[in-house]
Amino acid sequence: MASFPVFQLTEGEWTSSKFIEVLGLKIAPRLTSDPQLLCDFITNFQTRPDDVFVVTYPKSGTTWVQEIVWQIFNEGRVASDNILQRVPFLEAATSARFPQPDYNTLPSPRILKTHLTHNIIPKSGNEDSKCKYIYIARNPKDIAVSFFQFEKSMKVFGHGFNGPWEFFAKLFVEGNVGFNFWNDHVLGWWKHKDDPNVLFLKYEDLQKDLLSHVRMIANFLNKPLSDDLISRIAEQCTFSGMKKNAASYEIEKADEGKTSLLRKGEVGDWKNYFTPELNERFENEVLAKLKGSGLEFDFEI
């Protein structure tokens, strides 16, 4: 029988978020009431050749690219349905808190959101029927800030982070956050960037030229679209365009408020939070691990 350690760090009055370790990854308790069930679900998940996984380390542009992919498959339609209903979150499949569809009866193509690492994500055993993975990477300084704000907002669900930014930044560098170390996650997928069924994107590149990236994603999905439709999807999927449909990106807990999956959608917000000392720590302990990989990031545009 597998064990599922429960993890929460304290430092004086400060506490990290609470996690359950499933398949070696720190998973928030709100995502599953039964870790064995979640472990079995991920391990036994049967992919289809036309499945599309939108994959990220948390706070890397997941919701943004989910919306782009959904609109590509739906002729640029803007839907009021919540994004988690349209693009289910794999790790929440066994959660009573976030009701999920029956994955087996979802019509094809299934668009699925996940934060799983490459070694754990469901894959086809058949070379001829591989599904597709769109991985979005983002610079870790902006991720850390966005993750901090998100974890604070998730207090309505219990088990939440409690402490200042400096404490969260320390947890992030040490891999004591959801889905563990950023650099392990991103490098695991970067090694597969040339696989024909993997499209590796960077958040900052989408910010610089959304139009060409919408076209790139559509072509990767074998969904060639007209220039007019690509332009419309790009416009609707700007941060301001998505804010017009803000209710689609909210997570609710009855009687206790809401939190949004959208925050600022910026590159460079980290400069409002990082001291020179923290910046040096990120350079030495996080970014140094990318050396020799060829993977680089923009930290402002």
pLDDT at 253: 45
pLDDT at 244: 66
Homologous superfamily, domain 46-290: P-loop containing nucleotide triphosphate hydrolases (3.40.50.300)
Provide the token pair at 292: 């020799």
pLDDT at 256: 46
State yes or no: pLDDT of 255 exceeds 80: no
Work out the pLDDT band at 99, boundaries 50, 70, 90.
confident
118 is catalytic: no
Say if CB 210 and CB 238 are below 8 A apart: yes
pLDDT at 151: 87
Say if CB 68 and CB 237 are below 8 A apart: yes
114-128, 193-207, 251-265: least confidently modelled range: 251-265
Residues 265-291 have pLDDT tens digits of 678 899 999 999 999 999 999 999 999
Provide the token pair at 8: 């929460």
Single out the residue of 219, 233, 232, 206 nearest to residue 70, CA to CA. 233
Work out the pLDDT band at 158, boundaries 50, 70, 90.
low
Calculate mean pLDDT across residues 288-300: 95
Residues 70-91 have pLDDT tens digits of 999 998 888 878 878 889 999 9
> Percentage of residues in the chain with pLDDT exceeding 90?
68
Residues 26-61 have pLDDT tens digits of 999 888 989 999 999 999 999 999 999 999 999 999
Average pLDDT across the chain, whole number: 89
> Percentage of residues in the chain with pLDDT exceeding 70?
89
pLDDT at 126: 78
The span from the CA of 252 to the CA of 28, in Å, is 16
State yes or no: pLDDT of 235 exceeds 70: yes
pLDDT at 243: 65
Work out the pLDDT band at 245, boundaries 50, 70, 90.
low
Calculate mean pLDDT across residues 207-231: 95
Single out the residue of 226, 163, 178, 137 nearest to residue 19, CA to CA. 178
Provide the token pair at 69: 């992919």
Spatial neighbors of 61 by CB under 8 A, at least 6 apart, are 136, 138, 203, 206
Catalytic residue among 115, 118, 185, 213: 115
